[in-house]
Chain A
Amino acid sequence: MTKQYIHLSKALFLLYVFICTTTSAQSLLEYKNQGENLSPSETRYKHFHFNSQNRMLRTLFAHPTMEHQIASDTTISDTYQRRNNVSLNYAGAYLPNDYHIFEGNSFINYSVNASGVMYKQKFGTLYGSAEYSRGIDENIGWSSIRDFDTYAPYISSDSIGGNVNWEMYSIKGGYGFSLNDRWILGAQFSFKGEQAYRLTDPRLINTTSWLNFDLSSSYTSSQEQLLFFTLGYERNKQYMTERYWMPGLQDRFFHAYGFGMYNDIYSRVSFGYSRMHYIQGYNACLAYIQPLSNSSRIIASIEASYKDLKTEETSILNLYRSKTIQLNPSLEYLLNRGEFSLLVNAEAKFRIRTGYENIYDQVIIDKPNNIYDYRLISTRQNYNAFNREGLIQMKPSYNVCKNHTLSAIIGSHYFMREERYKSKPQYVENQWVEPHLGVGYQYRNNRSNLDFSLLYSQKMPISNIYDVSLATTDKIEYLDFQHAFNPYAFYANEYEAIRLNLCYIHRFKPFSVGLRAEAMLSNGHRLENVVYNNIIGFESSAPTISTNPDRYIERWGKMTLFVLF
């Protein structure tokens, strides 16, 4: 090894030690094995769980240089050296009572994914992953777009709803290389594409694609401190079209702009309609890792992103626009004292969204031929949304003997969402905390690993405000029940939940085979005062929830079979 790489190599080795001790190779594998979140239930499961260290791993591995930091250390001879894996996943979820109608209440999906890392001395590290998945989300109502949270409140919908099948392809690839003994440069590309469709009238098809580019650098100081910095560009497109197959049938398709309001002029009764959504996004991420030789160290990270959404109708009108800024600081502290270790992590998320509505006028441009075109006459800013999220967790671990480790976790998750509309004052707020505690056990020997954890949480509401004065009358019908009350009621609840994780890996000589089972069960009810007392506008057969408080039950489970080689 040349002299200039000594610093780096040492730092890398320590980084590896850090990963093994603070997160365990098991956790790293767990992180690496995870593909996309394929259902809202899976996303909720991952809001927090026992392997809290995975959150920081996700943050660190978002830097394209990270893989090279790890992979270029040839002294590593643990499980992680098996850098390629193939996994098969199957998951299902069901919410029999209250649910978020834009998401649906039953999810079944399966996927296959593969990932690999290839390191060539002097050339660098190439890594990548690919995933194919498909599934069905059932009983979706009043939203025809996928991933509504990204586009809200500018969603469009029919009044029928139904089950949506989907198929998703994703790929990620990156490359990192050492520029000298201090600097590593890297670049990453990822693409995710989904086609979702409904086989019942009005038949729907959504094609959504996400494209990301990241450029990254990392720096190792003479004191073995590591600094990562990444800049990224993001581009999203969602094309949506739906129409009635049954000849002659027509319906109203709504172009909503929050709280149940919709553009009355363009929400026409028709055989069908199409719409395009475009997002341009930029993000930056900075991470710092304290010298790894210390018995206690800190990892800090901050991510910031900006997204600009535009909608486009078939008439080429850009009716809506939104700008979203998100900030995500996180901090992790680790203490190692012999057989004892302590992990404390704290994380926050702030998201501010500002919405704009464009007003158009129709003008005649060719009188003899009676041809009209549109002209933008005004833009108004009324909609604002603010989400705040926080998580703090403490996880002590103790190696009982050579092969056995016991862990415990205690923490709390905080969430607040608020939406407001200026010109016709409307306001919705949900706020709660979810304290949790859990226990875990790990067993490992030369041939196998076993991980088990159980986490219990209880959601406690802090504040729920529903101040929407758009009640449907005889003359005007609003979608406030569907578009404002429904999501509000979904969050205005209290429940208890348990999360279970069991993973077993068996090593064979050229490869390892693992099986992981994860489950979440939530049981509770909507708060007693969360009742909708007004007339429901556009009452239809579309899936919905009851106006009165109902139970909240969510069951989710996932099985993963994976091979590491």
Chain B
Amino acid sequence: MKFIIQQLFILTTFFLSVIPQYVYAQTYSIKGRVTSATDNSALGYSTLIIEPWGIATVADANGNFSFNKVAQGECIITVSSLGFQPLIAKLDVEKNTRLEFKLEELSFSLNEVSVMGKQRKGGEKVDIGQSAIEYIQPTSLHDIMLLLPGSVVQSNSFSGFKQISVRQAGSDMNTSLGVGLIVDGVAMTNDGMRNQLAGYTPGTASSLDAEYSEKNPINQGNDLRYISTDHIESVEISKGISSAKFGDLSSGVIQVNSKKGQSPLRVRAKADLKNKLAYIGKGVQLGRNGGSLNLGVDYLHSMDDIREELEHFSRITAQAFYNNQWTTGLSKINLDARVNQTISVNKARKDELAYKYHEHYISDYKKTGLMLKTSFEQDDAFVSKINFLASSEFVSENIDRLKFVTSGSSALSAPISNKPGENIGQFLPGMYYSAFQLDNKPVNIFAQLNAETKKYLSKSFLLKLDYGLDLKLIKNRGEGVIISDPTRPPYPFDNTYIRPRRNIDIPAIINGAAYLQSDWIYYQNDDVLKLSVGIRATQMMNLPDNYVLKNKAILDPRINLSYILNTNDNTSHSFRAGFGIESKLPTLDYLYPDKVYKDFNSLNSFSSNPDYRILIVHTHVFDVANKDLEVNQNKKYELGYDFEYNGLSVALTGFYENSQSGFGYSRYFTNLNYDLYREFKGDPVTDRTPAKEDYIRQDYNTFTSNSIVNNNNTVRKLGLEYRIVSPHIRAISSQIEVNGAYYSTKYSTTLPMQFYPGMMIANNPYPYVGIYNNYPSDKQSRLNTNVWINTHIPKFGIMFTNFFQCVWINSSQYNDERNIYPYQIMETDGTVRPVTDDELKLMSSFDPTYRYLKRAIFSVDYASENKPVSLMWNIKATKELNNKVKLSFFVDNIIDINPFYKDQYNRKNRSWTNPYFGLEVFLNF
């Protein structure tokens, strides 16, 4: 790490030293004020950005702003403030200038209201502003993703966790885990959650109980259900190559900007088939120089299946955002502070059996977040801005489960010792209650020190440097699995019994990173050439010495090049290219799995007389931690072309992503040897408790398997995204956006498959494990087109959207190498050897032992399933009354066309879809 930081320091120094300090570019200041067009009141803390230079500032409480150094020539300034229509103006900077900007209150009576995402010129990043967020009536961040090319409508389910899908057909855990979520500059994480409980842990071979894995996103990234959109002012989404400032991600970035500053009292109520939501919020100015405080609270009640009255998701989120600014001379200090609280309760009883037997499942989730961000700005200094950001997040999730366990026909056993070797076990009753809790208390601390340097190398050439350090600490302070009575296991059918380990005993994850992002912007005659080069070095600093990631620097180079060519006839062409490596670090759960204890019955003598029963188990302990675990590194390539002509814009983005080291669980077989006592030496002992000596000792050899996390998952993504936005068509008062994507995604694994027939041969366990050169893969393709027709009639204060989603291609196909014979065999002593030709012959014959290693292959399993073209029509309408009340109604799937098709098995099939509808009232006082 030290080496890397040194290298970065040298690199930075080099960059800065090559800048000729004597270079002179004529710059001027732009000062002014931002006010409301309605009543001329000051719009404090408005944001102003000057393009193409990308220089931003925030106005003070009185709406006054200043840019001290703006290069001579034309530029575009964008002014935005919460609750107001953003204003875009073109400036010709020839002298020190003073300007006054008057912003209109957001209303559908305005002529231009944007309710769609807006792609940034020269990039693939999409900005989604407040009017779009309000209009799409989101319940969570997931809903906002629908505005992006390639997205398709998904169900509005809150009961279960929903993976984030990025540039892919289908979804997978690694992509979802690799999506970076940045809220007000803070990298959010869910990597501290862990629940290693046999039968419970998702992704492991022994996972029996879906009730947990469906609801909780362990190793799958941030849970967007907990991010309320009511506290959000805008969202920026980048699916491509992100800035080096952002790390510990592999699948793009979602940047969320919270509401801040003054705003009217807003009340929102929404009801649809699954969700009921209410929000109230207001931003106030605290005296003349006291800053502003924006407060909001919302409540969401969601039921995925309305018949399941006790399985619901309820969430309350509250947020307070304080910001202030102090100006002294040419320097400014900005302060942002945020406190947010999320509380949710998920109570579930799966069925009437749960009622009958008084089972319960209660998930209690609390999250408290604190964020402090301060920046010091001085435009004319070499370091024009220094930011310091610190945040902490305290999460507490407690799952309280009372489970009724029935053993079925035969008596089940439970171990009671933690030691390996032979131990006395006990028989479980035919039915019993198992009470346990899963306690997670992740603490996430994030700190970032960042500096910016802006230097005009000439009047047309700006170099911007963004460099800094960040530190992330993740520590789970929870108690882990708490079992009140270890002799009553909740999942006795799985012989990987629990031996609780406290989460607090697991080391913290401490990741440090240094980054340098440089933007070289050349602007001449309206043409812009921008080269962004960045590098990020990350190190996991608190790993045990035997982990390969210990002291390893992970380097993520990223480069983006864009050229915007503006011609004189309102036409512009933009060419983009990029390459980058993004790395997702392993989570706490992947790094530190609990040891697996497996207990095998050595002597099992069950008698109707409890005094004569005896159970001896042989306990084996497996350390399933993978010390060789690497990061999941995703290589991304991107090419883009954008075209604009008189309001018509076309954007095409082609990409290729190759992630060869995704996390995944693989099943490994291990040989086992222990003593087995099952045959009496003489007559069966029935008048006392039998002892080992009464039995013939048998040397028992078998196999067992464990799930171990590896970097064995690969995801290859290839695709083309497109987006066509029409100018406002007066004849139909509409703007039309057509977007979509072709995605071809291949999910596969890089490890050979192991197969154990698991039967008895001549009263002995089957003696071989077959190892096959079969690498299962699943290839999915999707081509979709989304057509948004936004009809805006300012005279009537109406916005009406017709949204058509057409999926042209939707196919999936399973494949593997179709090797029916193993290439290696594992013996009962653990040795692995190649398969001989003679053995192959035996396998292909009816040999009583070897024939079981021949895998059956059915052609239908490899057939592709191609769904026919499907169409879905969704509508949304909003009527505004007096700029105070908005009434909205939406229907998804109002009409759908899902033709009949022949499925993978050549049977006639068809997808059923249902309309989904709801309404919303929005009050603005």
Contacts and interface: CB of A to CB of B under 8 A. Distances in A.
Contact of A169 (B798, B875, B881, B919): B919
Interface in B304-347: 305-307, 309
- Please indicate which of the listed interface residues A193, A197, A316 has the most CB atoms of chain B within 10 Å of its own CB: A193
Interface string A298-322: 0000000000000010001000000
Contacts of A32: none
A247 B915 contact: no
A374 B917 CA distance: 34
Given A169-B919, A207-B915, A237-B914, A198 B906 contact: no
Interface string A225-268: 00000000001010100000111000000000000000000000
B894 interface: yes
B351, B353, B889, B918, most chain A CB atoms within 10 A:
B889
Nearest to A371: B905
B900 interface: yes
A120 B793 CA distance: 12
Contacts of A282: none
A201 interface: yes
A510 B353 CA distance: 58
B905 A209 contact: no
Contact of B796 (A126, A235, A274): A126
B306 A371 contact: no
Nearest to B272: A169
A492 interface: no
B120 interface: no
A239 B352 contact: no
A120 B309 CA distance: 47
Q: Which of B352, B353, B917 has the most chain A CB atoms inside 10 A of its CB?
A: B917
B887 A205 contact: no
A245 B352 contact: yes
B915 A235 contact: no
Contact of A209 (B307, B894, B918): B894
A29 interface: no
A514 B73 CA distance: 65
A114 interface: yes
A529 interface: no
Given A132-B919, A169-B889, A276-B912, A198 B307 contact: yes
A203 interface: yes
Contacts of B907: 365, 371-373
A342 B162 CA distance: 65
B861 to A, nearest CB: 10
Interface of B: 271-273, 305-307, 309, 351-353, 795-796, 798, 858, 860, 875, 877, 879, 881, 887, 889, 891, 894-895, 900, 905-910, 912, 914-915, 917-919
B908 A316 contact: yes
Given A120-B795, A209-B915, A211-B895, 15 more contacts: A123-B795, A130-B919, A171-B877, A171-B919, A173-B877, A191-B889, A191-B894, A193-B917, A205-B305, A211-B894, A245-B352, A246-B351, A247-B351, A316-B909, A369-B860
A314 B586 CA distance: 43
Contact of B908 (A211, A274, A374): A374
A371 to B, nearest CB: 5
A237 B915 contact: yes
B912 A366 contact: no
A316 B906 contact: no
B912 A201 contact: no
Contact of B905 (A237, A246, A369): A369
Nearest to A169: B917
Interface residues of A, number: 43
Contacts of B895: 211, 235
A369 B858 contact: yes
B917 A209 contact: yes
A71 to B, nearest CB: 13
20 contacts: A120-B795, A126-B798, A130-B919, A167-B273, A169-B271, A169-B889, A169-B918, A191-B889, A193-B891, A193-B915, A197-B306, A199-B309, A201-B352, A205-B307, A235-B895, A239-B914, A276-B912, A316-B910, A369-B858, A371-B907
B106 to A, nearest CB: 20
A118 interface: yes
Contacts of B307: 197-199, 203-205, 245
Q: Is the interface of B mostly helix, strand, loop or mixed?
A: mixed
Interface in A92-129: 114, 116, 118, 120, 123, 126, 128
Residue of A167, A169, A201 with most partner-chain B CB within 10 A: A169
Contacts of A372: 907
B276 to A, nearest CB: 10
A248 to B, nearest CB: 9
Nearest to B797: A118
Contacts of B905: 366, 369, 371
Nearest to A365: B906
A192 to B, nearest CB: 9
The 7 closest A-B pairs by CB, nearest first: A203-B307, A209-B915, A246-B352, A193-B917, A171-B889, A245-B351, A207-B914
Interface string A203-225: 11101010100000000000000
A395 B919 CA distance: 41
Contacts of A201: 352
B221 to A, nearest CB: 31
A512 interface: no
Given A197-B306, A205-B306, A209-B915, A366 B351 contact: no
A130 B877 CA distance: 11
B796 A118 contact: yes
A195 interface: yes
B919 A191 contact: no
Contacts of A373: 906-908
Interface in A158-209: 167, 169, 171, 173, 191, 193, 195, 197-199, 201, 203-205, 207, 209
A173 B273 CA distance: 21
Nearest to B885: A114
A211 B272 CA distance: 17
Interface string A420-444: 0000000000000000000000000
B868 to A, nearest CB: 13
Nearest to B796: A126
A123 B914 CA distance: 36
Contacts of B309: 199
A40 to B, nearest CB: 23
A437 to B, nearest CB: 42
Nearest to B793: A126
A116 B798 CA distance: 13
B375 to A, nearest CB: 46
Given A173-B877, A237-B915, A276-B912, A246 B796 contact: no
A247 B353 contact: yes
Contacts of B912: 239, 274, 276, 312
B273 A195 contact: yes
B798 A130 contact: no
